[in-house]
Amino acid sequence: MNIQTLLNQRIQAAMVAVGAPEDAPALVRQSAKAQFGDYQANGIMGVAKKLKMNPRQLAEQVLEKLELDDLADKVEIAGPGFINIFLKNTWLSEALIRLRHSDRLDVPMADIKETVVVDYSAPNLAKEMHVGHLRSTVIGDAVVRTLEFLGHKVIRQNHVGDWGTQFGMLLAYMERLRAENQQVSMALSDLETFYRAAKLCFDDDPEFANRARELVVALQSGDKDCLALWDEFINISLNHCEETYTMLGVSLTRKDVMPESAYNDDLPQVVDDLKAQGLLTESNGAQCVFLEEFANKDGEITPIIVQKSGGGFLYATTDLAAVRYRYNTLKADRCLYFVDARQSLHFQQIFTLSRKAGFAPQDARLEHMPFGTVMGSDGKPFKTRSGGVAKLSALLEEAQERAFKLVASKNPDMPEDEQRNIGRVVGIASVKYADLSKNRTSDYQFNWDSMLSFEGNTAPYLLYAYSRVASIVRRSEMNIDDLQGEIVIQEPQERALAMQLVQFEEAIQQVVSDGMPHFLSAYLYDLAGTFMTFYEACPILNAQSDVKISRLQLALSTASTLQQGLNLLGIETLERM
Ligand code: ARG
């Protein structure tokens, strides 16, 4: 049930009936204060200005045409021409009954089911995933789950970096270990150490560096032995990624990997197409595209380099090929890119050029979903204590260990395997939720104490709230199927909870339209708080039979909504904590 959409439609119809243009927005929002009703429409003033009318007068005319008798019991004009809407309790309780009996909380499937390509996670396979990959992976996965929940067809694209000059160095090091009869697979069990050792050789040993360069050429010209070595490396590195995805509970699998190397054969064609369209300029021997849209105030343009002077292709060339593939082969209606904000210019250039060159339709919905950096307490990008980049798998291990200790100290009598399981769920959820609850576009500080706290907008708070609501329903010893009957809304705390429950769909719409899961996090946090207030004011288990049944249904719907919401964020719930 999307009340906002429903009210927008009704008010818009009334506006049109009194002479407003078809596309005049009603701008319906949830009201911030109870005195302004449950919803308010803010669109009248703008339309009045266009029609050169007095806004209050226009509002009065709109009210005359407005049909809301079925859902509102009061509609008023406030201030210069706001329309405040007060929903009927009977309508609310009917909406709640529908929600209660629907296995998807009465959230309808999208009217138009789109094919959405989502580019996320995308680590560079030369190294292991580090904390910088957390945001793309976790936010992308939450948006993917929500899109699928609404019935869209999602095609995950894990655009991993598996190509480029670093691989020469890594292959040369594999060769060397092998020549020395050392176990390569052992050495690759820690990619960070492996990378550092290879880099040391590369920097200190000119012969090794030469061999590395030879291997890059051999790899790019398709040399069999070299490809086999590279395959082995990539495979091990992807296994590391998959272990991390499993630990994180992220839905990416091997079949979602569409690596940079997969586009190799398309790259000459991309350059030829750009040339045929007169878009290429040679600059210092490199093939470049200069787009006027990207000129700075002095008229200087940062070019898109698509081919180096030596003939090699670049990151941008691959991304152009990927856009073309996503539209032509995957038949995308919309493409989302969850990539660091520092790549914003890159994506704006790629998107503009793709439309210009016809790699994507003119009106292609190519959307970069940038995110900020994970910072340490010193205000600089988050590092380990020893100053290195924090390996994601190590970070997740630490989260589980810390959460386990916390659980063990709170529940010393619980069997250890249960403490461990709760520690695993809470630890992972804490890291993910700390990220998902922040506005995607800002930087945020990684802080163990605040993410593992049971107070505030945190995973432990929400998981605990869920388990508490679930336990109230359990303690009633009622069979869920017997929880039938009217949901009566009498107390203000009952009403506040009911209202919030029927607003679930509005919260998830923002996740898919803007790629912003923090709106859903904020909603769930508020919902848990509203439930606690309701629970303090309105006894459930000791109430009269029909009040008890009514309130239990509110509790049950709260539990289902918290669980479904957390699930869309990719967070597992616990029945007991
Ligand atoms: N591998 C890249 C990096 O680590 C991210 C790739 C993002 N996706 C893309 N289509 N460029 O920076």
| Geometric angle at alpha carbon 413, from 411 and 416, rounded to 5° | 85
CA of 193 to the centre of ligand 1 (A): 23
In angstroms, the CA 74 to CA 84 distance is 8
**Residue minimizing CA distance to atom 8 of ligand 1:** 159
Let me know if residue 196 belongs to a domain: yes
Burial of 184 (0-12, 13-18, 19+ CB in 10 A): middle
| Geometric angle at alpha carbon 439, from 151 and 107, rounded to 5° | 25
Find the CATH number of the domain harbouring 68: 3.30.1360.70
The answer on 309 and 204 residing in a single domain is no
The answer on 263 and 155 residing in a single domain is yes
Pocket test for ligand 1, best of 263, 339, 348 (most atoms within 8 A of CB): 339
Domain span at residue 79 reads 3-87
CB 463 near ligand 1, within 6 Å: no
Q: DSSP for 532-565?
A: HHHHHHS-STTS-HHHHHHHHHHHHHHHHHHHHH
Q: What is the pLDDT along the chain (577 residues), one digit of tens a residue?
A: 789 999 999 999 999 999 999 999 999 999 999 899 999 999 999 999 999 999 999 999 999 999 999 999 999 999 999 999 999 999 999 999 999 999 999 999 999 999 999 999 999 999 999 998 999 999 999 999 999 999 999 999 999 999 988 999 999 999 999 999 988 888 888 898 999 999 999 999 999 999 999 999 899 889 999 999 999 999 999 999 999 999 999 999 999 999 999 999 999 999 999 999 999 999 999 999 999 999 999 999 999 999 999 888 999 999 999 999 999 999 999 999 999 999 999 999 999 999 999 999 999 999 999 999 999 988 899 987 777 788 999 999 999 999 999 999 999 999 999 999 999 999 999 999 999 999 999 999 999 999 999 999 999 999 999 999 999 999 998 888 888 889 999 999 999 999 999 999 999 999 999 999 999 999 999 999 999 999 999 999 999 989 999 999 999 999 999 999 999 999 999 999 8
Let me know if residue 432 belongs to a domain: no
Tell me how far CA of residue 13 lies from CA of 23, 63, 68, 78, in angstroms: 10, 11, 11, 20
Q: What is the largest CA-CA distance in the chain?
A: 88
The answer on 235 and 272 residing in a single domain is no
Q: Ligand 1, residue 346: give the atom nearest the CA.
A: 11
ipTM at complex level: 0.98
CA of 339 to the centre of ligand 1 (A): 7
Backbone angles phi, psi at 509, to 5 degrees: -60, -35
**Residue minimizing CA distance to atom 11 of ligand 1:** 319
CB 339 near ligand 1, within 6 Å: yes
The answer on 185 and 317 residing in a single domain is no
Q: List the beta bridge partners of residue 383.
A: 389
The answer on 352 and 264 residing in a single domain is yes
Handedness of CA 331, 335, 339, 341 (dihedral sign): positive
CA of 137 to the centre of ligand 1 (A): 12
Asked if residue 144 lies in contact with residue 156, where contact means CB atoms within 8 angstroms, the answer is: yes
In angstroms, the CA 512 to CA 367 distance is 12
Domain end residue (candidates: 206, 230, 252): 252
**Residue minimizing CA distance to atom 6 of ligand 1:** 122
CB 251 near ligand 1, within 6 Å: no
CB atoms within 10 A of CB 369: 22
The answer on 157 and 286 residing in a single domain is yes
CA of 345 to the centre of ligand 1 (A): 13
The answer on 169 and 151 residing in a single domain is no
Contacts of 326 (CB under 8 A, 6+ apart): 117, 157, 332, 335, 360
CB 119 near ligand 1, within 6 Å: yes
Let me know if residue 576 belongs to a domain: no
Asked if residue 104 lies in contact with residue 142, where contact means CB atoms within 8 angstroms, the answer is: no
